[in-house]
A and B are shown apart, each in its own frame.
Chain A
């Protein structure tokens, strides 16, 4: 019996899952508070003792979104092009993109970067052979400011030699990746994603005290959202030996953010539709920092307003919202408060989907009606996976991401099977899929379908 222990150092909880690789079964799971303030090992030890005795464990892997996760700033030239490409690369690497800068960065912006909680800067700009001025200027600003934040250099390759020399001369730590947008509207995120992961493992986990966990686990291999995205790709696209389940979506509503992942090309599914704009990543992740159940409760209200709640027959919700923002650990017990949480989650799901999914608009032309698609067409998606407490415990929330006649231009899924991550094991299985894709895929099918 070969056993693997998977640990997810989450922002709130440290979750452990013990799996038997030969029987392909979950043997035990346990949970304790994440303890980055003292030592991350405290929470781990507590959770580990709750697991019970299961004999020898052959392998121990971990992923982490503790200590604020991974915050990346994206820098590019044109907002809709290289800035957007850099953002997508960072999101795909499991980061939160709280800052993004276009054109030529200014001293004020450098000051903002300095005083922020940014872990990595993804520096892009220009297609290969294209604009050089913007990225050179921005690299100079970074060098002059002697920023101590690791840089991922992923812009116009013609500028690499000059920028590398500049960074070496000014002791700026950097790693080089391929251009995130080598040609107009061509997205190339894999290389930058891999470099971000490498820096995360080598530098960021160390700085945040997560590396310490490696005294007790073998490896902290990636940020949790990156693991989940990887697992979803395995589940959707399959492995070399096994079919996946096809295009799918994943909805995760948390206290601070609402994340949506989609796996699939999302190309136009109907005739006469023309795709426009930057290419979409096959594994796309969007993170909405203003849609959440607790930390972002106020932001949610500010974004959607009272109107959104009125649709669900609620009014004057400010007190309830403020209460949830102040009491982030709050778990509702009476029917009214539970229902209120479900309404909040429904609004988060609906709004996050609006921002994730592609749209189609009709264009009148002398040749008749033409259709223009921006973003991903997800109408043909067959499965939606729901994760996160509120989604797992209450019905009817995931459905809010489906086709809605009030939002007719959005290319949302029409007929979908809803899967729920009841045992909270999907992130663990995803982490495992990095090393054991076939076993992980069989187990995902077994536990979710």
Chain B
């Protein structure tokens, strides 16, 4: 069984989407380690180390995602998690920005998949299946 760490990063307390993702991925046979809202980068990383996770899925709904996600990948590499997939999604940037630029900034930060607002869980699910083969 593949293990994924799921959580909402930063000072963000949006719990509903987090519960929906937990439900969807659990139903699809993933071992979901849900660290919940108000999670720091270190919490994701520590959970991934102890559970030997295959992927870390970061949610950010409150617009500060870009600040919260800075340096995440470097910390993963430092913690020996360079091969663990790193996804991010939600309302990860604020204002009317060009999505392609925003996405590129997260790719440059080392995220493997970056999702815009309105992405269905099914999309992330099918990507994860592909990426974890």
Within 8 A of A (CB), among B49-83: 49-53, 62-64
Which residue from A127, A131, A370 sits with its C-beta under 8 Å from B13? A370
Bitwise, A355-385 to B at CB < 8 A (1) or not (0) is: 0000000011111001010000000000000
Q: Could you tell me how many residues of chain B have their Cβ less than 8 Å away from some Cβ of chain A?
A: 25
Q: Which residues of A contact B12 (CB under 8 A)?
A: 365
Q: Which of B20-28, B31-39, B101-109 contacts A (4 or more CB under 8 A)?
A: B31-39
Closest B residue to A370 by CB, please name it.
B13
**A126 close to chain B: CB less than 8 A:** yes
**A296 close to chain B: CB less than 8 A:** no
Q: Which residues of B contact A130 (CB under 8 A)?
A: 3, 50-53
A372 to B43, CA, bound (A): 14
Pair A127/B50 contact, Cβ less than 8 Å: yes
**A77 close to chain B: CB less than 8 A:** yes
**B1 close to chain A: CB less than 8 A:** yes
Chain B nearest CB: distance from A77 CB in Å? 6
Which residue from A77, A129, A274 sits with its C-beta under 8 Å from B49? A77
**A184 close to chain B: CB less than 8 A:** yes
Bitwise, A269-282 to B at CB < 8 A (1) or not (0) is: 00000101100000
Q: Which of A8-16, A78-86, A166-174, A418-426 contacts B (4 or more CB under 8 A)?
A: A78-86
Pair B50/A78 contact, Cβ less than 8 Å: yes
**A402 close to chain B: CB less than 8 A:** no
**Contacts A183-B33, A274-B37, A274-B38; A131 near B50 (Cβ below 8 A):** yes
Q: Which residues of A contact B1 (CB under 8 A)?
A: 129
Pair A184/B35 contact, Cβ less than 8 Å: yes
Bitwise, A53-86 to B at CB < 8 A (1) or not (0) is: 0000000000000000000000001101110000
**B122 close to chain A: CB less than 8 A:** no
**Contacts A129-B1, A274-B37; A184 near B11 (Cβ below 8 A):** no
Pair B38/A126 contact, Cβ less than 8 Å: no
**Contacts A127-B51, A365-B62, A372-B38; A80 near B46 (Cβ below 8 A):** yes
Pair B50/A129 contact, Cβ less than 8 Å: no
Pair A184/B63 contact, Cβ less than 8 Å: no
A367 to B63, CA, bound (A): 12
Pair B63/A366 contact, Cβ less than 8 Å: yes
Pair B35/A131 contact, Cβ less than 8 Å: no
A279 to B12, CA, bound (A): 21
Pair A364/B47 contact, Cβ less than 8 Å: no
Q: Which residues of A contact B39 (CB under 8 A)?
A: 276
Pair A126/B63 contact, Cβ less than 8 Å: no
Closest B residue to A131 by CB, please name it.
B52
Interface centre among A81, A184, A185, A366 (most CB of B within 10 A): A184
Chain B nearest CB: distance from A36 CB in Å? 40
Chain B nearest CB: distance from A379 CB in Å? 20
Which residue from A82, A132, A274 sits with its C-beta under 8 Å from B52? A132
A372 to B12, CA, bound (A): 11
Q: Which residues of A contact B51 (CB under 8 A)?
A: 126-127, 129-131, 184
Pair A82/B50 contact, Cβ less than 8 Å: yes
Chain A nearest CB: distance from B23 CB in Å? 17
Q: Which residues of B contact A126 (CB under 8 A)?
A: 50-52
Pair A185/B35 contact, Cβ less than 8 Å: yes
- Pairs A–B under 8 Å by Cβ, sample size 10: A80-B46, A81-B46, A184-B5, A184-B47, A276-B39, A276-B43, A277-B43, A363-B11, A364-B11, A370-B38
Given contacts A81-B50, A127-B51, A274-B36, 16 further A-B contacts (CB under 8 A): A78-B46, A80-B42, A81-B47, A127-B50, A129-B51, A184-B5, A184-B33, A276-B38, A363-B11, A363-B38, A365-B62, A366-B62, A366-B63, A366-B64, A367-B62, A370-B11
Q: Which residues of B approach A to under 8 Å, CB–CB?
A: 1, 3, 5, 11-13, 31, 33, 35-39, 42-43, 46-47, 49-53, 62-64
Closest 9 CB pairs of A and B: A130-B51, A365-B11, A363-B11, A131-B52, A78-B46, A184-B47, A130-B52, A127-B51, A366-B62
